[in-house]
Amino acid sequence: MEINACRKGEVLLKLYGRLSKGPRTLKQIHVEKDDNEGTFHDRLEESLIEICRELDIPVPMWLKKNTSEFAMYRRTSFEKDQFIESVNFDKFEIKLEI
């Protein structure tokens, strides 16, 4: 069992990223942000960029559907057509755990 020790008032943001092609998971990673600097949006954006850098993929276009999914389910997915560059996977998914 993992215990997240944060100072009072801090929220540990954990963002998981997963690349898949068909039913197969190609790569997955997670990042944690426990600083209180910046807004939630800033920390989310920094985490997304860090995951994309670690997975060696371009940062996807965030669409309205991503905002809706993320607000309702704390997760969203990005399809191939949301990347400006060509990618060799079908789907990139992110999931938030607080």
- Sequence spans of domains, the chain: 13-97
pLDDT score for 38: 79
Q: How many CB atoms lie within 10 A of CB 45?
A: 14
pLDDT score for 5: 44
pLDDT score for 58: 97
Query: Model's pTM, two decimal places?
Result: 0.84
pLDDT tens digits, 64-90: 999 999 999 999 999 999 999 999 999
pLDDT score for 10: 58
Tracing tokens 């850098």 back to the chain, one arrives at: 53
pLDDT score for 11: 63
pLDDT tens digits, 4-56: 444 445 568 899 999 999 999 999 999 998 767 778 889 999 999 999 999 99
Residue 42 structure tokens? 């800033």
**Which uninterrupted H or E stretch holds 75?**
strand 75-79
Residue 38 structure tokens? 């910046």
